[in-house]
């Protein structure tokens, strides 16, 4: 008995395809930004597919009970959908953390790798990684890692650096993981989550923000300061 076990097809824990997980994760992210219901086109654009493709998938996801899709009115996650999204986000951020800390993969490369592997690691491997890292609460970019209970992470009260007034002091908390160039730039200048910074000056109309970090001063561009989030010093 007991033949090969070398099967071609690999079912993931739940029966969710990588595509399904990508849609659900994208909807989760768009819902999180709080700007009302999620539209088909913005979703499609984020995923790099045609709007018609997103419509088709939304119909499937609705049938699977992962989203509520009101034609022409937008889409939102069901509780089941949110669980799936948080599971994938947990995978993503644990993998990023692991690659960075245990394997020394550069900060700006881990996102791409995690974007793939998040769909394929088993629950057992997720668990091993989490334990090895000591159940971290945040990934290397400062994004919160959902816990085993898959509760949605609480809002950390951070604001874009762009919103700070001149003279403000704050802690750099997080930055989007998806732009390698930006991450490389920050890494090169020693600006990583957790560091204290103070705004020494700023130019209007999206001009640079002058920031003092670890004794050095940097002029950070408009795009960058909109993506960097900080926790203003209390008071």
CB of 20 to its own copies, least distance (A): 10
Based on the shown chain and the rule CB under 8 A, indicate whether residue 36 belongs to the binding site for its own copies: no
How does DSSP assign the chain, residue by residue? -------S----SSS--HHHHHHHHHHHHHHHT-SSSBPHHHHHHHHTS-HHHHHHHHHHHHHTTSEEEETTTEEEE-HHHHHHHHHHHHHHHHHHHHHHHTT---TTTHHHHHHHHTTT--HHHHHHHHHHTTS-SB-TTSPBPP-TT-PPPPP---EEGGGPPTT-EEEEEE--SS-HHHHHHHHHTT--TT-EEEEEEE-STT--EEEEETTEEEEE-HHHHHH-EEEEPP-
Q: Between 58 and 99, whose beta carbon lies closer to its own copies?
A: 99
Is residue 56 a contact partner of residue 106, using CB atoms and an 8 Å limit? no
33 binds its own copies, rule: CB under 8 A: no
Q: Which of 86, 93, 117, 198 binds its own copies (CB under 8 A)?
A: 117
Distance CA 170, CA 31 (A): 27
Cβ proximity to its own copies: between 45 and 62 the closer is 45
Distance of CA 105 to the CA centre of its chain: 18
52, 116, 216, 233: which one binds its own copies (CB under 8 A): 116
Strands 159-160 vs 209-213: parallel, antiparallel or unpaired: unpaired
Residues in 41-100 at the binding interface with its own copies, rule: CB under 8 A: 45-49, 99
CB of 48 to DNA, least distance (A): 7
Q: Which of 46, 55, 78, 83 is the binder for DNA (CB under 7 A)?
A: 55
Q: How far is the CB of 176 from its own copies (least distance, A)?
A: 9
- Interface positions, 139-178, toward DNA (CB under 7 A): none
Q: Is 172 in the site for its own copies (CB under 8 A)?
A: no
Q: Rule CB under 8 A: choose which of 129, 145, 164, 175 binds its own copies.
A: 129
Single out the segment in contact with DNA by CB under 7 A; choices: 18-26, 78-86, 105-113, 201-209. Answer: 18-26
Instruction: Copy the structure tokens of residue 8.
Output: 């071609």
Q: Which of 134, 156, 132 is nearest to 144 (CA)?
A: 156
Interface characters, 59-98, with DNA (x: CB under 7 A): xx--------x-xx-x------------------------
Binding residues for its own copies, rule: CB under 8 A, are: 2-10, 18-19, 22-23, 26, 45-49, 99, 102-105, 109, 111-113, 115-117, 119-122, 124-125, 128-129, 132, 178-181, 223
Binding residues for DNA, rule: CB under 7 A, are: 8-9, 17-20, 39-42, 48-60, 69, 71-72, 74
């Amino acid at each position: 008995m007991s033949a090969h076990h070398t099967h071609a097809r690999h079912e993931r824990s739940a029966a969710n395809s990588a595509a399904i997980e990508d849609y659900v994760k994208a909807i989760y992210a768009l819902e999180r930004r709080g700007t009302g219901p999620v539209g088909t086109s913005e979703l499609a654009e984020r995923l790099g597919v045609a709007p018609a493709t997103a419509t088709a998938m939304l119909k499937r996801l609705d049938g699977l009970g992962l989203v509520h899709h009101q034609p022409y009115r937008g889409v939102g996650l069901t509780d089941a959908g949110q669980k799936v999204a948080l599971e994938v986000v947990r995978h993503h951020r644990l993998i990023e953390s692991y690659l960075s800390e245990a394997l020394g993969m550069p900060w700006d490369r881990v996102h791409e790798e995690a974007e793939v592997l998040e769909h394929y690691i088993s629950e057992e491997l997720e668990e091993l990684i989490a334990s090895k890292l000591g159940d971290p609460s945040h990934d290397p970019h400062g994004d919160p890692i959902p816990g085993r209970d898959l509760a949605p992470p609480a809002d950390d009260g951070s604001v874009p650096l762009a919103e700070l007034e001149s003279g403000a002091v704050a802690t750099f908390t997080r930055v989007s993981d998806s732009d390698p160039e930006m991450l490389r730039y920050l890494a090169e200048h020693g600006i990583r989550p957790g560091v204290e910074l103070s705004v020494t000056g700023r130019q209007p109309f999206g001009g640079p923000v002058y920031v003092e970090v670890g004794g050095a001063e940097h002029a950070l561009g408009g795009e960058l300061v909109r993506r960097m989030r900080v926790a203003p010093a209390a008071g």
